[in-house]
Amino acid sequence: MARRSVEIKKIEDRSKRQVTFTKRRQGLFKKAGELHSKCNADVAVIAFSLAGNAYAFGDPSVSSLLDRYNKAVEVSPDIEIPVAGEVSTAERKAGEMLEKVVETRGGRREWDKEVEKLGEAEIDAVKVAMEEMKKKIVMQQRRILAEASNL
Amino acid sequence: MARRSVEIKKIEDRSKRQVTFTKRRQGLFKKAGELHSKCNADVAVIAFSLAGNAYAFGDPSVSSLLDRYNKAVEVSPDIEIPVAGEVSTAERKAGEMLEKVVETRGGRREWDKEVEKLGEAEIDAVKVAMEEMKKKIVMQQRRILAEASNL
DNA sequence: TACTCTATATATAAACT
DNA sequence: TAGTTTATATATAGAGT
C-alpha cells in the first residue's frame, strides 16, 4: 500500500486524516464501481466525513438502492451484517455543519482508454462526431424539458 | 491484483462471477471498515448480488446512516452535482457511445438512438461527461501532433 | 490546498486442494 | 462448493512541487 505499514488506527493529525479520507474514499468508490461493472451487482456507498459532509456513490442510484435495502430489511430483518469495529459507535460528534455537499465520482472514466487508442486519421472524425452527438444531446434535453412543462 | 489484468467488464461465467462477487464484496467491506477506523468517518455499504441478496456494512449502523443520508439530501436537494450513481451511469453511457463512434466512424451513426434513450436524470450528467471526454480528445490530438513534430 | 510521484502494502484471479 | 496459495495488479502513505 504505501511507504509504511498500515496500522488501522485513528489518524490523529487533522490534515493527514483529511488527505487519507479523500484518497480512501475515492478508492472505495472505485472498488464499488468495479464490483458493479464486473458482477452486475447493484452497490451503494455512503460516507460522512468528520466535517459532516456526505459523500455517496451508487449505481443505478443511491436513493433507489436505499429504498430497496429498506424494503429488504422489512422482509427479513436479519440481513444486516453488523461488522463493526470496536472503536466504532464511539465519537463522531465533530461535524454538524449542515452544508452537505453530496459529492461524487468513483474515478472510472472508461472511455479514457478508448480515446488513447485513437490515431491521427481518426481524431478529427471523432471530433466532428462529438459535435453532432452534442447537438443530439441538447435536442434530447429540450425534448425532456418540453415534456415536463406539459405535465 | 491477480494473475491476469483486470478488465472491468461484466464476467459472463456465472460461477466465476459469484466467486468474484464474494471476494470483492469482502474486500469492499474491509476497505469501508478501514476508512471508518482510520479517519473516524461513518460509512455504509450496501450490495445486492445478482441473485437479489442484500449485503450491508455500516458503522455505527446501516439504518442510522441511511437516515442521515436522506436528511442530508433533504437539506440541499438543489445541489447541481448529481448523485454518484447518476454520474457513473452517465459516464458509462458516454463511454459506450464513444465506442460506437469509434467503431462506426465513417459509417452510420448508431449512437443517435442511444441519445434518444437518455432520461432527464442522465442528460445533464452526460453533458458533463461529454465535456470531459472532449478535453481528453483534445489532449490526445496534441499528443499526436507533438509526436509528429518529433519525427 | 491540491497535485504528482514511487516504494510498498494490499487485494485478488486463477490454480490448486 | 469452499478454503489456501501465489503471481501480479492495484491502492495508497509519504514525500516532493
Q: Would you state the cell numbers that stand for residue B71, as one nine-digit string?
A: 436528511
The verdict on a CB contact (< 8 Å) between B42 and A48 is yes
Q: Which residue is nearest to nucleotide C10 (CA to C1')?
A: A1
| Percent of chain A residues past pLDDT 70, beyond the cut | 34
Q: How far is A18 from chain B (nearest CA, A)?
A: 7
Of the two residues A38 and B106, the one the predictor is more confident about is A38
- pLDDT range class, residue B43, cuts 50, 70, 90: confident
Are B17 and B11 in contact by the 8 Å Cβ rule? The answer is yes
Peptide bond into B77 cis (omega under 30): no
Are B118 and A142 in contact by the 8 Å Cβ rule? The answer is no
Give the residue from A59, A69, A64 showing the smallest Cα distance to A106: A59
Q: Cα–Cα distance between A21 and A24 in angstroms, integer?
A: 5
Residue A22 has pLDDT above 60, yes or no: yes
pLDDT 10s digits, B44-73: 888 888 777 778 887 667 777 777 777 666
The verdict on a CB contact (< 8 Å) between B141 and A125 is no
pLDDT of residue A149: 45
Give the residue from B16, B130, B140, B80 showing the smallest Cα distance to A118: B140
pLDDT of residue B116: 59
The verdict on a CB contact (< 8 Å) between B43 and A48 is yes
pLDDT of residue B42: 84
State the pairing for strand pair B42-48/A42-48: antiparallel
Which nucleotides in chain D lie closer than 7 A to a protein CB?
1, 6-15
Q: What is the mean pLDDT of residues B94-112?
A: 49
Evaluate if the CB of B148 falls below 7 Å from strand C.
no
Residue B113 has pLDDT above 80, yes or no: no
Give the residue from A113, A17, A24 showing the smallest Cα distance to B34: A24
- pLDDT range class, residue B26, cuts 50, 70, 90: confident
What integer best gives the mean pLDDT of chain B? 64
Instruction: Give B-chain residues touching A49 at CB under 8 angstroms.
Output: 39, 41
pLDDT 10s digits, A55-95: 777 766 667 777 777 766 665 544 433 332 222 222 222 11
Residue A102 has pLDDT above 60, yes or no: no
pLDDT of residue B14: 79
The model's pTM is: 0.57
What integer best gives the mean pLDDT of chain A? 59
For A119, the 3-state DSSP assignment is coil
